[in-house]
Amino acid sequence: VTGRDTGREHAGPDCVTDVDAADSVEPKGERLDGIGRDRAMRYSIAELDTVVPGVAVALKAAGIRTTARLLEAAKTPKGRKTLAERTGLSPQCLLRVANYADKMRIKGVGEDDAELLEAAGVDTVRELKYRNPANLAKRMAEVNRQRKLVRTLPSEKAIERWIEAAKDLPVKISY
């Protein structure tokens, strides 16, 4: 992780609440490939399999049911702190989940792709803007060989479109 806290190093236990995980398993959502930004902004928190069981339940209890509401509530450190107090989740966990939702604003980036991007070292939309498509495609392929996160890797052309789209997106999250 670079000098700022992107939430990446907090992927584990601090994202679990007191809610019994067995009671909070949510159905897995479908990929967003081909669906525009507007749909991605309204993607259900419950359908995100990147949201650890318990996180979706805690967010729902706080009135956060969509990625749009999550991004609005967790866009600043102060907002994440307030949401952390309301949910019992750590601000780092909320930042990680918000970064997933933020990446999913990019047309063609689904939950699995957002996870693969994170595993390849791209935690935020801001970081994606500066990536080389060929190098990122290579890194994503290496990571996917090891971790098998997606069935079909995005093409270098698709990654290039993601990078261009990231450059056009308004900034949603501050660090």
Q: Which residues touch 167 (CB under 8 Å, ≥6 apart)? A: 129
Per-residue pLDDT, 51: 60
pLDDT tens track, the chain, 175 positions: 333 344 433 344 456 433 333 222 233 333 333 334 444 457 888 766 556 667 889 999 999 999 999 999 999 999 999 999 999 999 999 999 999 999 999 999 988 999 999 999 999 999 999 999 999 999 999 999 999 999 999 999 999 999 999 999 999 999 9
Quote the pLDDT of residue 140: 98
For the beta carbon of residue 26, count every other beta carbon within 10 angstroms: 18
One-letter amino acid of 140: M
Contact in structure between 136 and 122 (CB atoms under 8 Å): yes
Structure tokens at 78: 């102060």
pTM, full prediction: 0.77
